[in-house]
Amino acid sequence: MSTTIYYILMIAILLFVLTTIAAWLIWLERRVLALWQDRYGPNRAGPFGLFIVVADTIKLFFKEDWIPPFADKFIFVIAPAIVAAAVLMSFVVVPFAPGIVVADLNIGLLFFLAMSSLGVYSIVLGGWASNNKYSLLGALRGASQMISYEVFMGLSLMGVVMLSGSFRLTDIVLAQQDYWFIVTQPVGFVIFLIAGVAETHRLPFDIPEAESELVAGFHSEYSGMKFGMFFIGEYLGVILISSMVVTLFFGGWLGPSFLPGVVWFFLKTFVFILFFILLRASLPRPRYDQLMEYGWKVLLPLALLNLLITGAVVLVMKE
């Protein structure tokens, strides 16, 4: 019985921590962007404007929750839930520290890929159910972008799997005790990071919502907390991709022993979250066809080549 209570407690703590971090990331992003763009950013509510998140949440809850009369109601309501649920499900397999993991599945990495492939449904269904041409255009772009980048995302991780010999994330972290996989898999790391940005459709790859041409893309018709779900789903996605990068390429919880493993994990993850925000501040959005061409003509061959060379080296080293 105690294991059941342990799991329930673990899931509750994880949900609480993740949603809180995701909410404060909104504040962090606005402050840091302001810093890089030489502005003040939100600084009125509370110390350093910290309470803007509370104010924003209250505002979202009190806004009129409008469902367009021309929309497909059921699908319109269910779409924003899918993205948040799929991303939160992925955190089930992330090992934060030895023993601190909800379920240490022996197909953990595949589970992560499976869940991240579900996220595309929320964009496609949300855009279609809105019954609006801009939403539909955004949905179509989102679908093709995410399906394409999923391919390289999976392929770029297979090098790590070959080196560690397991799909279990704990084993992958433990296999990095001598050196982090960034040393041997730099190409895989870069491809995974680019594919991760595209999967979370963050700038510069936020083409499904491209506000300068598509109003707000797939969530044009959404208001109130349904829009809030898309919003929080995006930030959860940023945390997920950052923590997966840390787990797979930067040794997860491993680090000098003067700090506990969880702290190392969160510190490393935080660096990548800041990197995601820096990307938004510094890079322009590519054109849609450039994005697809870049994916299929550059990243796919590179990922395959990386896989081939890694396989050959692993074979030679074994003999």
Partner 1 sequence: MQPHKLQSLSTALMSISLFYLVAFLSIFFSLLVIFSKNPIHSVLYLIITFFTFTVHYILLNAQFLAIVNFIVYMGAIMVLFLFVLMLLNLDEDSEPMKSNILKMAGLVAGLCLLITLVGSMKSLHMSDPVILKNPDLGLVKNLGKVLFSEFLLPFEISSILLLTAMVGAVLLAKREPKTA
Residues in contact with partner 1 by the rule CB under 8 A: 72, 75, 105-107, 110-111, 113-114, 117-118, 120-121, 124-125, 128, 136, 139-140, 143-144, 147, 150, 154, 167
* Closest to partner 1 by CB, 60 or 129: 129
* Closest to partner 1 by CB, 53 or 191: 191
CB of 186 to partner 1, least distance (A): 26
* Closest to partner 1 by CB, 65 or 72: 72
CB of 143 to partner 1, least distance (A): 5
* Closest to partner 1 by CB, 45 or 105: 105
* Closest to partner 1 by CB, 22 or 153: 153
CB of 129 to partner 1, least distance (A): 8
Nearest to 231 by CA among 3, 27, 72: 27
DSSP class per residue in the chain: -HHHHHHHHHHHHHHHHHHHHHHHHHHHHHHHHHHHTT---S-SSSGGGTTHHHHHHHHHHHS-----TTS-HHHHHHHHHHHHHHHHHHGGG--SBTTB-S---TTHHHHHHHHHHHHHHHHHHHHHHTT-HHHHHHHHHHHHHHHHHHHHHHHHHHHHHHHHT-S-HHHHHHTTSSS-HHHH-HHHHHHHHHHHHHHTT-TTS-TTT-HHHHTTGGGTT--HHHHHHHHHHHHHHHHHHHHHHHHHHS-TT-S-TTS-HHHHHHHHHHHHHHHHHHHHHH-PPPPHHHHHHHIIIIIHHHHHHHHHHHHHHHHHHH-
CB of 161 to partner 1, least distance (A): 10
Residue in the structure block whose two tokens are 């390289």: 152
Measured distance CA(280)–CA(264) in Å, rounded: 25
CB of 117 to partner 1, least distance (A): 3
Q: Is the link from the previous residue into 204 a cis peptide, with omega within 30 of 0?
A: yes
CB of 127 to partner 1, least distance (A): 8
* Closest to partner 1 by CB, 105 or 174: 105
* Closest to partner 1 by CB, 150 or 209: 150
* Closest to partner 1 by CB, 93 or 236: 93
CB of 192 to partner 1, least distance (A): 16
CB of 125 to partner 1, least distance (A): 8
